[in-house]
Amino acid sequence: MTASISSENIFKMCPCAGDKTYGESPLELINYYESLPKNRYGDLLRIMAIPYLYHATEAINDSATDAIEAYSKAVTDLLSYVKTTDVSGLKSILELAQGSDEFEQLEEQVETHTGQHYGNLFKGFSDHSYFNEAKELLKTRLERNGIEIENLKNKTVLDQGCGGGRYTVAWSLLGAKECTGVDLSDIGLEDATKRVEAAKIKNVSFVKSTVLNLPFEDDTFDIVYSNGVLHHTTDWKLGIAEQIRVLKPGGFGWQYLIENPGGIQWDSIEILRVITRNVNKNFARTVMKLLGIPANRIFFMLDHVMVPINDRLTPMEIENELILNGAKNIKRLERGADFDGIEKIYNKIPFAEQKFGVGENRFIFTK
């Protein structure tokens, strides 16, 4: 049995339910899901809200209509949909998913819990997503922002919070000399090691450690890259201090942290975080697989929805912290890959701010 949630905690986890950006619809939706039984039927309905809201949000993001109006309607539509679901049709999915929720032994410790969550998601990546997509994303984000790293073939890279190591490998494929990935996730590191060995990549290695106390001397690496990690830790500020500590003077830092405000994209994630907060993650992954959703989409959808800590930060908060720790030449990137919010803001798509807030916080700097 799971405890119900107070309105105060709903508003803390999901400010848009309290500030009425979308009227009453988010709170009504959350309250309806709260009233559903806390069993596998109830959880199946909660999981089905994830692709529903993701697809709705993406459709709005691709349209030219007022995003706030359209999103309020999408939330109301989801409520009608869930109220009228014919649960008898869900029996076969439940039968096929049977057993998937019995093996989850999530550790109490937040880091281990987060590591297991991501390790399991990364494991599902195809070789194409793992090797090609990550390299292309990194390359595009560097090129579109005019970032040229001179003499990359002589540079050492640390990937702070590498997960399954896709970007550690991407740096190697782009030509870096030696690339080290650090993460706490046993599942992620095991998968990373297997993939690198199978691909016979020699200049990539992995170390198990917290990113909040890196096992390296000061001034060790030419590049310290951190992509979407510190907002899931207990102390993102300490993570920035560690990043800069191990960076060589003159070295290049990259820090990506999620944004506040974040538009309907992040409001949607926060609604889903409340609704699915007690749902078994293995069960969620299995159900989404049974629904025919590809692994990289499952990763994309469950990434922030099911992770214990998901702190969103304003550009100013991050910049201040970088300055405080001695970073120089700080620049917030204005461009990204095609699907990045920041790229859509750059291209001035209609209602970009309603959709993406300030866009991804990707900072580069030197030490």
Q: Which of 61, 67, 157, 188 contacts ligand SAM by CB under 6 A?
A: 188
Q: Which of 43, 61, 67, 115 contacts ligand SAM by CB under 6 A?
A: 115
212 binds ligand SAM (CB under 6 A): yes
State the number of CA atoms in the 13 A half-sphere of 316 facing the CB.
Answer: 1
**Interaction mask 294-333, ligand SAM, x per CB under 6 A:** ---------x------------------------------
Contact in structure between 122 and 166 (CB atoms under 8 Å): yes
User: Using CB under 6 A, which residues numbered 216 to 235 contact ligand SAM?
Assistant: 227-229, 232-233
Residue 10 or residue 169: which is nearer to ligand SAM going by CB? 169
Q: How many residues bind ligand SAM (CB under 6 A)?
A: 22
Pairing of strands 204-208, 221-227: unpaired
Residue whose entry in the numeric block shows the structure tokens 């309105």: 7
Q: Which residue is nearest to ligand SAM (CB)?
A: 163
Rounded CA separation 173/14 (Å) = 39
Q: Which uninterrupted H or E stretch holds 332?
A: strand 328-332
CB of 244 to ligand SAM, least distance (A): 16
User: Using CB under 6 A, which residues numbered 129 to 158 contact ligand SAM?
Assistant: none
189 binds ligand SAM (CB under 6 A): no
Residue 242 or residue 319: which is nearer to ligand SAM going by CB? 242
Whole-Å CA distances, 16 to 12, 20, 27, 70, 335 = 9, 6, 9, 15, 27
Residue 14 or residue 211: which is nearer to ligand SAM going by CB? 211
What b/e readout covers 246-282, taking b as 16+ CB neighbours within 10 angstroms? bbbeebbbbbbbbbbbbbbbbbbbbbbbbbbeebbbb
Rounded CA separation 113/122 (Å) = 14
CB of 209 to ligand SAM, least distance (A): 7
DSSP three-state, residue 250: strand
Provide the binding-site residues for ligand SAM, judged by CB under 6 A: 111, 114-115, 118, 161-163, 166-167, 183-185, 188, 210-212, 227-229, 232-233, 303
